Structure 1
C-alpha cells in the first residue's frame, strides 16, 4: 500500500488508515476477540496507520489497539492518539453506561477537558499506559473547538516541545470543522490536520481554507468521516448525516450520486473513499471498522477503479463543483 510522509515530519502514513473508535464500542458492543481480529485484518491488508483516542470507549479503544499491536515490530507501523480529554475515575464506581457520549461501555470514568501543558503530558502518559507501548508517533489536539485559546497557547507549545525532544514525531489537530485547523495551519508549525467530514463527496468545505493552507505550507491532511455518518454507504430515508437525521435535500443529492455511481458500475462507497485522495495535501483516508469483514470490504472498495467518466458525470449533473480535484482512475501500489 502506498505511503506518504506527513508534512515536514519523518512519519509515514498508509494511504488507508484504520480508525479505532469502533473497537472502542462506538454505539454497539464489540468483543475483545472481534477487536483484535479487526486490527489483524487491517494489518493483513497492508494498513500500517492506526488512529485512536482516550475518548473512544473511555480508553477501551487504546487498550484493545495496544494489545493487538503489541507483538508487531514497533517501527513497522504508525500510531496516533489524541489529547484534550483526561479520563478521571468516577467516585461512585461507574453506574450506568456511556451511551450518551456514543460508546457502549460502563461509565467508569468521566471526561475532563484539559488543554493545559500539564494536561497534555498527563494525557499522553495515560495513553501510553493503556496502550502498553513505549511511544506514539502522532499526537493530535482532539476537538478543541470551545478551548481554542488554551489549545493554541498551552497545549500546542507542549506538543511542540515533545516533538523537539523526540517523544512524538508529528503533531497536529483533529476536528470536524474548518475554521480552527486553518488558524492552526497559519499560526503554528503543526504537521497534520485530521479533518473529519469536511472533505467528502457531499461536503467540500475543507477546500476553502484548510486544504490550500496545508498545501501551501507543505503540511498534510488526513481525511476522516468520508461517508458522512454512513449516508454515503447506503443513502436511504432514515439514514444519518453528520450524526443527525439527514435533511431531505442532502438525501436527494446522495441518492442522485448513487445513481451516477451505479451507472458506472461502482459502489458509491468506493467513490467516497477514493475522492479525498484527489487533493495533493491529502496523505491518507481514515476509515473506521469494528469487524474483519468491514475492514476487508473497505479495502476492496479502496482498490476499485473509479473511472474518470464517473467524476465527469457528477460534474455534469452539478453534483460536484467543477474546480474540485478528483483522484486518478486506479489506485497505485496496492498489493
Structure 2
C-alpha cells in the first residue's frame, strides 16, 4: 500500500491506517484472538500505520497492538499514540468503564494532564504498554477544554522530544476543525488527526483546516469517515458521532446510498474515497475489531468509482458544489 510522509517529518503512513480503539473493547468485548487477527489482517492487506491511545480501553488497545506488532520488523511500520490523559490505578477496582465507551474493568481512572511532566510520563507509560522501542507519532488528544495548557506546555514538550529524536512526528487529534486550524497556524505540527469533520455528511473542515494545512504543508489524517455508523449502514437506529442519528441525516445517507447503488459502488467505499480527495489529506484511519472488517476496509480502496457518481451526488444536492472530488479509478 502506498506510503506518504507526514508533513516535513521522516514518519510515513499508508493511505489506510488501522485505528485500534476497537481492539480496546470499544462498546463491546473483543476476544484476544480476534484483536490479534485484526492486526494480522491489516498487515496482510499492506497497512503499515497503526493508531492507538491510552484512552482506548484504559491501555488495553496499546497492550494488544504492541503484542501483535512485535512479530514484525520494527522499521517497517509506524505507530501513533496520544497524550493528554494519564491513567491512574484505582484501588479497589469498582465496576467497568462502559460509561466512557469501553467494555473493560475500571482498573484505572483518566486524569487530564497536558503539562510538560504529564507528556513525558504518558509517553513512558505508553512505551511500557506497547512493549516497543519507540513511538513514531504522538498526538495531543482532545485538548478542546485545555487549549492554553496544551499549547503552552504539552506542545513545546513534544517539540523538544521531536528535536531530540525521541519521536519522529507530532500532531493533534480532535473531533473539530476550528481548534486544529489554530494549532496548524500557531505551531509547527507535522500532522493533525481530524475525526468526523470531513465526510459525505459533514464537510466543515473545507472552510478552515484543509486549506490552511495545504498551505503550510501539514498532513491531515481523516478518521470517522463513516460518522460512527450512519455512513456504513444507514437505517433507523444508526449512530452519528456516537449518538442516535437524526432522521434527516439518516434520510440523506439513504439517498446517497441509492445513488451509489445505481453506480454499483458501496456507500462505504464512496465515504472512504471522498475523504482522500483533498490535497492536504495524506490518509484515512478506519477502526476495526476483526480481520473481516480490516479486509473489507482495504478492499474499499481498490474499487473503481466512476466520476459520474460524484456528479450525481452533486446534482441531487447531496454534496455541495466546489468540493475536491476523487478522480475516477
TM-score with structure 1 length normalisation? 0.97
Q: Which residues in structure 2 correspond to 1:146-295 (within 5 Å)?
A: 146-295=145-294
Q: Give the match for residue 98 of structure 1.
A: 97
Q: Which residues in structure 2 correspond to 1:29-178 (within 5 Å)?
A: 29-92=29-92, 94-178=93-177
What is the root-mean-square deviation in Å for CA atoms of aligned residues? 0.6
Is there any run of 5+ residues in structure 1 with no aligned partner, and where? 331-335
Shift of 1:10: 1.0
Shift of 1:3: 1.1
Q: Which residues in structure 2 correspond to 1:300-311 (within 5 Å)?
A: 300-311=299-310
Shift of 1:212: 0.6
Q: Separation in 2 of the partners of 1:24 and 1:259?
A: 34
Q: Separation in 1 of the partners of 2:302 and 2:119?
A: 38
Q: Separation in 1 of the partners of 2:149 and 2:190?
A: 19
Shift of 1:248: 1.6
Shift of 1:91: 2.0
The number of residues matched between the two structures is 329
Q: Give the match for residue 333 of structure 1.
A: none
Shift of 1:247: 1.0
SS at match of 2:103: strand
1:326 aligns with 2:328: no
Q: Separation in 2 of the partners of 1:56 and 1:69?
A: 17
Q: Give the match for residue 14 of structure 1.
A: 14
Q: Separation in 2 of the partners of 1:248 and 1:291?
A: 29
Q: Separation in 1 of the partners of 2:315 and 2:327?
A: 18
SS at match of 2:304: coil
Shift of 1:322: 1.1
Is there any run of 5+ residues in structure 2 with no aligned partner, and where? none
Range that drifts further, 221-230 or 296-305:
296-305
